Amino acid sequence: MAKPLSDAELTELAMAASPADPFAADAVAFGQESAGAELLPEWYMPVPQMSAADRTPRRVFTVGLIVMSMLLLNGAGLCVTYGLPEIAW
């Protein structure tokens, strides 16, 4: 493993670099040990299984109705934190 660079060395490298310089073909993400490693492990954050095809009009309407009802209740000054509408003062 290479020795860490000092702040002065990093500053010197940054000032000498051009923004138009391309990345090296074998460049990897900062702090990533191997080129094939994932950013997050599959068990920690799996790929979502739901696709855009699962967005049926019925689901979109239901979610929209819930969001709008919460906005209207909170806009009217009611609190629904515990399930029952209460005056929030």
21 vs 17: CA distance, rounded Å: 7
Residue 30, helix vs strand vs coil? coil
Domain, as residue range, for 79: 56-89
Q: Does 29 map to a domain? A: no
| Total number of domains in the chain | 1
What confidence score (pLDDT) does residue 5 get? 84
pLDDT digit string, tens, across residues 43-64: 777 666 666 667 889 999 999 9
Q: Does 48 map to a domain? A: no
Q: Does 23 map to a domain? A: no
Q: At residue 1, does pLDDT exceed 90?
A: no
59 vs 65: CA distance, rounded Å: 10
What confidence score (pLDDT) does residue 68 get? 94
State the average pLDDT over residues 25-49.
64
